[in-house]
């Protein structure tokens, strides 16, 4: 089964400055992070940024190209920075997930407890580099799962009841059903609002309370990156590129 990516990019005119794409980018990305899927609401819009999938330091010619822009939360953009696997590693599938080309279910699996695992090299790389398996994200996914399922099954129940042929019911039953449906719809709305509020509060707490396992995640991230760099000794960061250039300039001038 070929799955369609969840992000379909709008056709846009080319612009002088990529910042002009911000509004259409937000909309195309469903107001959520390209990498960890947190919504603007869940992070209280804190730190959402335009990320360049191929970093500017590596491909300055793509700086204003809409196809290279991703809507990203501050956390993911901060972890990604100008990290970009070299061509050779990408050919093996080692790359950041991108929702405009890949489908989540092909690359990740989420357990009922909210933990996430990469199914492919792309999935594993993205989880490890962006620390998508950190405690706060596991909690967020678990809550989404539990509450989302609750709301969805409630709405499904309401839709099923609405499908009942009212003519087949006695008048009393009809009135009772209509009243119940109205009450149920209101409850589903309330539940959804509560759900959103819970998710917002949870995301907020990540900013205040440091994750006790954060150090371990960072260590694991570094170890994985060191290992990958040993396997694929290309340029992994644009910054190294500039540093090389700089040292070359220094050599030339000295
Ligand atoms: Zn994110």
CB 73 within 8 A of CB 47: yes
- ∠ CA 127-89-77, nearest 5°, is 40
pLDDT at 249 over 70: no
Q: What is the pLDDT of residues 179-211, one digit of tens each?
A: 888 888 888 788 778 777 777 676 655 555 566
Å from CA of 116 to ligand 1 middle: 14
Å from CA of 228 to ligand 1 middle: 22
pTM greater than 0.75? no
pLDDT at 144: 81
pLDDT at 77 over 70: yes
Same domain, 29 and 115: yes
Same domain, 129 and 141: no
Same domain, 130 and 38: yes
pLDDT at 204: 59
Q: DSSP per residue over 53-78, as a string? A: SS-TTT-GGGTT-GGGEEEE-HHHHH
Same domain, 42 and 80: yes
Å from CA of 244 to ligand 1 middle: 30
Same domain, 129 and 143: no
User: Which is nearest to 96 in space by CA: 77, 109, 115?
Assistant: 77
Å from CA of 78 to ligand 1 middle: 9
Å from CA of 38 to ligand 1 middle: 6
| Domain containing residue 148 | 136-208
pLDDT at 51: 97
**pLDDT bracket for residue 253 (50, 70, 90):** very low
Number of domains in the chain: 2
Å from CA of 62 to ligand 1 middle: 22
């Amino acid at each position: 089964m070929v799955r369609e990516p969840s992000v379909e990019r709008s056709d846009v005119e080319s612009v002088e400055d990529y910042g002009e794409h911000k509004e259409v980018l937000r909309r195309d990305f469903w107001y959520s992070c390209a990498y960890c899927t947190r919504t603007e609401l869940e992070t209280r819009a804190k730190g959402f940024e335009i990320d360049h999938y191929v970093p500017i330091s590596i491909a300055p010619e793509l700086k204003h190209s809409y196809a290279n822009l991703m809507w990203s939360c501050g956390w993911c953009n901060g972890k990604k920075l100008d990290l970009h696997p070299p061509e050779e590693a990408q050919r093996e599938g080692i790359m950041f997930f991108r929702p405009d080309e890949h489908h989540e279910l092909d690359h990740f699996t989420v357990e009922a407890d909210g933990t996430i695992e990469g199914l492919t090299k792309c999935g594993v790389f993205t989880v490890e580099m962006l620390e998508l398996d950190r405690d706060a994200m596991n909690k967020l996914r678990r809550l989404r799962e539990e509450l989302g399922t609750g709301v969805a099954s409630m709405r499904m129940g309401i839709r099923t009841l609405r499908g009942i042929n009212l003519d087949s019911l006695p008048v009393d039953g009809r009135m009772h059903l209509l009243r119940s449906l109205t009450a149920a719809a209101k409850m589903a709305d309330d539940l959804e609002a509560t759900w959103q509020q819970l998710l917002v509060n949870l995301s907020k707490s990540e900013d205040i309370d440091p994750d006790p396992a954060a150090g371990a995640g960072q260590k694991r991230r570094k170890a994985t990156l060191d290992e990958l760099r040993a396997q694929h000794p290309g340029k992994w960061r644009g910054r190294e590129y500039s540093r090389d250039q700089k040292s070359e300039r220094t050599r030339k001038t000295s």
